[in-house]
Structure 1
Amino acid sequence: MPCGKGGMMNFNFKYWGVLACVLGYVGMSLSAKVERATVYIFGFSASFTDSVVYITDIQQLDSAYIETKYDFLMDRAVYSDQLQTYLEAVKQMPNSTCAVFFHTKKSKLMEEYDKIRKQYGSDGSVMLKELTDGSFKFQSPVYEPPVKAVPESAEPKATKKEKRRKASKDKPEK
């Protein structure tokens, strides 16, 4: 039946309208939230030009921010940059590649920590150095949620009276 006859066109609009509403609702319900949480974190650093590998101890951060949908640590790059800056300044280890590992449960993170220590500790070509003396501590950055771009407000449109008044002022006198 063609769309132009009877109620078929009306049915299509209803169908697509309901579908759009359902998709909008599902999209809103799946949106992630960022929450402040306690996490456990450790850092790892390796360099392609050096045989020394550094690993920090497991530290507790009380003011970290987690994206709840995927358990994603916000500002992870800031934490790895903190470790890299420390290694460059204190240990004179430039050009190191740093990564952080985290979890909300210490036992789960401890498994990962032990796995990395075992892997690099048993490798004879790499020297594993642990930063466990408390000299390095991760600092939680102040989390600022992303800001949506808002267009600059346009100047209010002049009314007809204001336009006439301006035009009469600009008119040269005779």
Structure 2
Amino acid sequence: MKILKYFLCLITSVIILNVTASAKNKCVPKVYVFGLAASFNDSIVYLTNIQELDSAWIDDKNDFLANRSDYSYQLKNYFESQNINHRTCIVSYALKRKDINKKYQKIKNKYTKGGNFDIRYINNDDFKFSVIKPE
């Protein structure tokens, strides 16, 4: 009975390792991204332009942008270098231009509706995302 339990645990472990190891990243020619930075302390919302990332990496299984949090940190670090601290930064992405345009317009409408937020746009000359290759 102990051998059977040990064998089942071993097989379960191997299956879990195979499932997690099979998630691979692939390089795609273009990914479209934009960033948003907001704070709970004020009504200013910063929005980058839609940018093209050449040769970006996405997860093969679910088309998630690899190292998404690192892209958010790029934006956060930009704001900290401008002495604009305590911003929550997010990055939205899509593989098709029309999809990112929809996401961008949806976010923009959310913050312009009602006039409660001061939206400030960040030009590509001021901030540009850099491609991050996964480890």
Q: When the two structures are aligned, how many residues end up with a matched partner?
A: 122
Q: Match for residue 65 of structure 2?
A: 73
Q: How does 1:57-96 map onto structure 2 within 5 Å?
A: 57-90=49-82, 92-96=83-87
1:53 and 2:45 are equivalent in the alignment: yes
Q: In angstroms, what is the RMSD of aligned CA positions?
A: 2.3
- Which residue number corresponds to residue 27 of structure 2? 36
Q: Sequence identity of aligned pairs in percent?
A: 39
User: Alpha-carbon deviations, 1:58-111, whole Å to 9, x = none?
Assistant: 101112110111111111111100101111212x32110000000111110110
- How far the C-alpha of 1:33 sits from its partner, in A, is 2.2
Which structure is richer in relative contact order (CA contacts within 8 A, separation 6 or more)?
2
Runs of 5+ unmatched residues, structure 2: 1-10
| Off by >3 Å, runs of 4+ in structure 1 | none
Question: Which has the larger share of strand?
Answer: 2
Taking structure 2 as the reference length, the TM-score comes to 0.80
Mapped contact 2:74–2:129 kept (Cα < 8 A): yes
- The TM-score normalised by the length of structure 1 is 0.63
Deviation of the 1:50 alpha carbon: 1.5
Tell me, in whole angstroms, the C-alpha distance in 1 between the residues paired with 2:22 and 2:124.
41
Indicate yes or no: 2:132 matched with 1:141. yes
Look at both structures and tell me which one has the larger radius of gyration over its CA atoms. 1
